[in-house]
Amino acid sequence: MLFRQLFDRETSTYTYLIADRISKEALLVDPVLEQVERDLKLLKELGLTLRYCVETHVHADHITSASKLREATGCLTVVPYPAEVGCADKFIHHGETLKVGAVVVQAIATPGHTDSHMAYLANHTHLLTGDALFIRGCGRTDFQGGDAGTLFDSVTQQLFTLPDSTLIYPGHDYRGQTISSIEEEKHWNPRFTGRSRDEFIKFMNELNLPNPQKMMEAVPANRQCGNSSQLSA
C-alpha cells in the first residue's frame, strides 16, 4: 500500500492519498479545494489513477475539491450515508468497503461530530478518523446534527475496540502532531480517559467554541461537492 499524509496549513486539514503500488489505482480522502493542483501533480508524479474522492463528512472549515477532481480525473465522489449531498456518485454505509487494486478501505460509522460521519480503515492498519477523533482530542459536537453522547459511543465502541496497534491519522491537527495509535489515545486522550459518558457530554456542551471561519461558505458548497457555482441564489 502507498500512503501519503498531505496538509493544508490554512485550515490545518489533513488529506490522505491511498493507493495500490501494483495496479496504480488510488483514492483521496478529504481533499481541499485550494490544494487541488498539488494533489493532481502528486497523482501524476506517482503515475496513479484516481478512482475515488472520499469524504469523512460534510466539512464546515474548508471546501472540498471533489468536484474539481472528478472533472480532472473522472473519479467517483463518495460521501457517508445519509449526508445531504446532492452530487455524490456513491453514498457509503457502515461496513462497506472501497477497493483500489489489492488495498481495501472499510467505512466505519462514527457519527457525533456530525450526524453523518465515517472513519476509514485501510488494510486493517491505517485508520483515518476524520473529525471524530484527533490526537489527544476530538471534533466538536455543537452543529450539523452533532451530539456529544453519540460521539462518545462512536469513539469508545467503534474505534477504541480496534487493535491497539492500529495507526490513527486524524482529519485535523492544530499542534503539529501527525500520527497516533488506538493504544495511545485510549490511555492519553484527555477528552475520553477517565471520563464517563455523562462527564464527556457535560464537557463538550460547555466548550462554547466560535463557529469555523468558513462555515457559512463551506457547508453549502460541500453539499455540492465543492462546486459553489451550483448553489442557488
pLDDT tens across 148-177, in order?
999 999 999 999 999 999 999 999 999 999
Say how far residue 216 (Cα) sits from the centre of its chain: 20
What's the CATH fold of domain 2-219?
Metallo-beta-lactamase; Chain A (3.60.15)
Element (H, E) at 171: none
Note whether 116 and 94 are within 8 A (CB): no
Single out the residue of 228, 231, 218 nearest to residue 55, CA to CA: 218
All structural domains of the chain with their residue ranges: 2-219
Residue 120 pairs in a beta bridge with: 107, 128
**Residue range 189-213, pLDDT digits in tens:** 999 999 999 999 999 999 999 999 8
C-alpha cell read off for 122? 485501510
Residue 213: predicted pLDDT: 87
Residue 228: predicted pLDDT: 62
Single out the residue of 84, 95, 123, 99 nearest to residue 3, CA to CA: 123
